[in-house]
């Protein structure tokens, strides 16, 4: 079984795996550390999960898919945890309903800490004692587990931000980072040639199964914006009645706007003096017109693009452009400590990596030749290939080293609590 693409696994480097495992597990705990026990049990909506649950679920993943089947003599911390902390793996068995995860006041924080320590000890024994043939079998699962926990680190920040935003006290997750204050560079459009291109993962290193197979696509010549759409530009859309004019909206998007009463991006609030404020993980503050607009749905991104006379890029255009400009996989990611988008650099095609996940107009479907693996791990990505749209590029809450040019994030069109932003495209 190969749940992910692997072409350079250092199967002999057990110490390297342990070093990464310890670092990633420690980062999860560091992200949870500013939160009180009450914070960590909070579930603000069915799509979000409590921090405590994320800590337990990532532990359950290693226990269920690595330790239980591969470590002789391993004993589960609790027979109940398989039911409580399974997310969506039907092949593994029944699970606690997702909308009710916030009702799990028990097991408490001490029990979850013990669970993580118990599994960590098992993983140390696995790396020490497993035979070479068995280690080669389990290595892809180890890599998948590490990347899975990094995904949940981003979700910890997404979910707690939504929860804290609903508190009338508007509490901050942490102190504000030292963001660079500057004006946004002028919006330019950069030409990219069309023709026959290849997209999808085919290189070395880890990739999720949905990133392949690498395949050919035909692109017509196109232009891509040099940076993300700013809050100031989005304010113009609001001022010109963008949320009141159905001609810009997809039918389901307009119905959502009417039903939900949307008038601005998530976390924005109109103040008494007519200015706008935004809730951040550092608390509420004034909207900065130069920063990228964030926490918009695909419906809002698409409506803004139509209002501007342009469109969203396809995921093939985005990936081809990213390869052409050859960005280093660097940007405003989790390691910056800002946990908020920042103003674009003035030169080149900026913000392809980090700041905001960029909505595309591409539905999330399998690439030509894609086949989900059998068994429970095969449910990781393939089962969600319906009613979702693709986002690219990572965000300010994505762990460093986790994102790739081929990485395909996906959310429903109405989702706004993800750090989604807008990059415009147009035909040549």
261 domain residue, yes or no? yes
Read off the pTM.
0.95
pLDDT in tens, 310-358: 999 999 999 999 999 877 889 999 999 999 999 998 888 999 999 999 9
The CATH number covering residue 113 comes to: 1.20.120
The residue among 132 and 182 whose pLDDT is bigger is 132
pLDDT at 126: 96
Are residues 242 and 93 located together in one domain of the fold? no
| 356-413: pLDDT as tens digits | 999 999 999 999 999 887 766 766 777 888 999 999 999 999 999 999 999 999 999 9
One domain for residues 277 and 332: yes
Residue 36 within a domain: yes
Mean pLDDT of the chain: 93
Q: What is the mean pLDDT of residues 29-51?
A: 98
Looking at residues 207-236, what average pLDDT do you find? 97
Do residues 236 and 289 share a domain? yes
Domain count, the chain: 2
* Residue 216: φ, ψ to 5°: -90, 145
Please choose, from the candidates 344, 339, 216, 189, the residue with its C-alpha nearest in 3D space to the C-alpha of residue 279: 339
State how far the Cα of 349 lies from the Cα of 127, in Å rounded to an integer.
Answer: 43
Domain that holds residue 108: 4-165
Do 210 and 104 belong together in one domain? no
Angle subtended by helix axes 231-239 and 298-307, to nearest 10: 70
The answer to whether residue 177 is domain-embedded is no
Query: Which pLDDT value is given to residue 379?
Result: 62
Q: Taking residues 199-216, report their average pLDDT.
A: 92
- pLDDT, position 327: 76
93 vs 32, higher pLDDT: 32
| Over residues 71-79, mean pLDDT | 95
Q: What is the DSSP letter of 400?
A: T
Q: What is the pLDDT of residue 5?
A: 47
- DSSP for 127-194, written as a single string: HHH--HHHHHHHHHHHHHHHHHHHHHHHHHHHHHHHHHHTSTT---SSPPP-PPP-PPPPP-EEEE--
pLDDT of the residue at 2: 41
257 neighbors 415 (Cβ within 8 angstroms):
no
- Comparing 106-120, 199-213, 260-274, which segment has the lowest mean pLDDT? 199-213
Is residue 307 in some structural domain? yes
Q: Are residues 350 and 237 in the same domain?
A: yes
| 231-243: average pLDDT | 98
Give the end of a domain, one of 131, 165, 199.
Answer: 165
**183 belongs to a structural domain:** no
* Confidence band of 3 (pLDDT split at 50, 70, 90): very low
Looking at the structure, tell me whether residues 244 and 391 fall in a common domain: yes
Q: Can you read off the two tokens belonging to residue 324?
A: 């052409």
Q: Is the pLDDT of residue 9 over 60?
A: no
Task: Flag whether pLDDT at 7 surpasses 60.
Answer: no
Are both 193 and 160 inside the same structural domain?
no
Give φ, ψ of 427 to 5 degrees.
-80, 150
In this structure, are 205 and 157 located in the same domain?
Answer: no
Q: Are the beta carbons of 224 and 321 closer than 8 angstroms?
A: yes
On whether both 144 and 252 belong to a single domain, the answer is no
* Pair 46, 95 in one domain: yes
The answer as to whether 406 is a domain residue is yes
pLDDT at 12: 63
Q: At which of 126, 150, 165 does a domain end? A: 165
CA distance 6 to 25: 22
Q: How confident is the model at residue 383, as a pLDDT?
A: 82
Same domain as 195, residue 55: no
Instruction: Evaluate whether residue 174 is within a structural domain.
Output: no
Higher pLDDT, 15 or 295: 295
The CATH number covering residue 405 comes to: 3.90.1580.10
Least confidently predicted of 190-204, 214-228, 372-386: 372-386
pLDDT of the residue at 32: 98
Residue 158's pLDDT band, with cuts at 50, 70 and 90, is very high
Residue 382 lies in a domain: yes
Q: Is residue 41 domain-shared with residue 151, that is, in the same domain?
A: yes
pLDDT of residue 59: 98
Helices marked H in 261-409: 298-307, 315-325
Among 417, 362, 357, residue whose Cα is nearest residue 49: 417
């Amino acid at each position: 079984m190969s749940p992910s693409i692997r072409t350079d696994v250092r199967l002999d480097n057990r110490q390297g795996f342990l070093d990464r495992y310890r670092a990633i597990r420690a980062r999860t705990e560091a992200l949870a550390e500013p939160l009180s026990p009450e914070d960590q049990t909070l579930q603000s909506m069915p799509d979000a999960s409590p921090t405590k649950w994320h800590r337990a679920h990532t532990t359950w993943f290693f226990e269920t898919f690595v330790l239980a089947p591969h470590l002789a003599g391993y004993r589960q911390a609790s027979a109940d945890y398989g039911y409580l902390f399974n997310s969506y793996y039907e092949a593994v068995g029944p699970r606690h309903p997702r909308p009710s995860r916030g009702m799990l006041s028990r097991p408490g924080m001490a029990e979850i800490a013990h669970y993580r320590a118990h599994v960590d000890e098992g993983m140390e024994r696995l790396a020490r004692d497993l035979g070479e043939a068995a280690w080669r079998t389990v290595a892809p699962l180890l890599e998948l587990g590490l990347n899975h926990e990094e995904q949940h680190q981003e979700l910890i920040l997404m979910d707690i931000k939504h929860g804290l935003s609903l508190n009338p006290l508007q509490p901050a997750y942490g102190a504000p980072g030292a963001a660079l204050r500057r004006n946004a560079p002028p919006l330019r459009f950069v030409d990219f040639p069309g023709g026959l291109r290849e997209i999808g993962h085919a290189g070395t290193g880890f990739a999720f199964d949905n990133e392949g197979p690498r395949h050919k696509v035909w692109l017509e010549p196109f232009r891509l914006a040099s940076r993300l759409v700013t809050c100031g530009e989005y304010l113009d859309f609001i001022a010109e009645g963008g949320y009141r004019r159905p001609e810009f909206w997809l039918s389901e998007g307009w119905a959502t706007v009417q039903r939900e009463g949307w008038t601005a991006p998530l976390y924005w609030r109109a103040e008494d003096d007519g200015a706008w404020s935004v809730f951040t993980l550092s608390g509420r503050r004034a909207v900065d017109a130069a920063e990228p607009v964030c926490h918009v749905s695909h419906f809002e991104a698409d409506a803004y693009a139509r209002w501007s006379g342009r469109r969203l890029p396809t995921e093939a255009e985005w990936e081809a452009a990213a390869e052409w400009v050859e960005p280093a996989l660097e940007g405003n990611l989790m390691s910056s400590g800002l946990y908020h988008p920042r103003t674009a650099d003035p030169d080149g095609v900026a913000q392809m990596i980090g700041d905001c996940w960029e909505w595309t107009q591409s539905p999330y479907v399998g690439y030509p030749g894609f086949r989900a693996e059998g068994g429970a791990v095969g449910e990781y990505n393939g089962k969600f290939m319906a009613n979702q749209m693709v986002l690219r590029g990572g965000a300010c809450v994505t762990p460093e080293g986790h994102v790739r040019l081929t990485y395909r994030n996906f959310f429903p069109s109405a989702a706004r609590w993800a750090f989604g932003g807008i990059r415009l495209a147009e035909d040549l």
